[in-house]
A and B are shown apart, each in its own frame.
Chain A
Amino acid sequence: EAGVAQSPRYKIIEKRQSVAFWCNPISGHATLYWYQQILGQGPKLLIQFQNNGVVDDSQLPKDRFSAERLKGVDSTLKIQPAKLEDSAVYLCASSPWPVGGNTEAFFGQGTRLTVV
């Protein structure tokens, strides 16, 4: 089966500019996650969708970050305006859970964002 697809792989922008990331999860997966991974740290959850509803966005900086999941499938994460501290790898993951009891999460290759 095809894996989780993310684009772009790399992005360099100046501070105060805007940027958008795209994720296509594995077909049929109900849960979609966006994580931020700063160099040397573990991934931090930004937002979690179940189908097209938000389950958890408690750590999403809502003054600058936004995300949506279109028709419960693809998702976009946007940053506007970007700050230097947003430089990180943005990881998208999907999981069948809670449908069918399979809880395994699968990750995309990530988007490395550099804000200069």
Chain B
Amino acid sequence: KQEVTQIPAALSVPEGENLVLNCSFTDSAIYNLQWFRQDPGKGLTSLLLIQSSQREQTSGRLNASLDKSSGRSTLYIAASQPGDSATYLCAALGGNKLVFGAGTILRVKS
């Protein structure tokens, strides 16, 4: 059974700082690893998707990496802004199931 863990559970940083969010998964037989953003009271917005054959994906200030052998993915946010404040969720697709972690609550202080 796939289990996804995200560390830290919450993070508070000053504006402009670079930061890393961590995601680990127990079953390395995955099709992809997807990162989402969730604003309070809203649904999930897809940020980046890394296919199992890829090592990383980039979109603007975001960079996500995937290491299947160690069961880890990281989301790197460069030059953080107050507008980046949200909950960040990772999800692993494998064995027909999309399994989520509990998320990291990010607060960027101005």
Using a CB–CB cutoff of 8 Å, the interface residues on chain A facing chain B are: 4, 6, 33, 35, 40-45, 48, 55-56, 91, 93, 95, 97, 103-110, 112
Contacts and interface: CB of A to CB of B under 8 A. Distances in A.
A116 to B, nearest CB: 18
A105 B96 contact: no
Interface of B: 4, 6, 31-32, 34, 36, 41-46, 49, 51, 89, 91, 93, 96-103
A107 B43 contact: yes
A72 B32 CA distance: 24
Contacts of A56: 96-97
Given A42-B103, A43-B89, A105 B98 contact: yes
Contact of B46 (A44, A91, A105, A109): A105
Nearest to A92: B43
Contacts of B96: 48, 55-56
Contacts of B101: 42
A93 B91 CA distance: 13
Complex A-B, nearest 7 residue pairs according to Cβ-Cβ distance, in ascending order: A42-B100, A107-B44, A109-B43, A42-B102, A107-B43, A110-B43, A43-B100
21 contacts: A6-B43, A35-B100, A41-B102, A42-B102, A43-B44, A43-B89, A48-B97, A56-B96, A56-B97, A97-B31, A97-B93, A103-B31, A103-B32, A104-B34, A104-B46, A104-B49, A105-B34, A105-B46, A105-B93, A106-B46, A107-B43
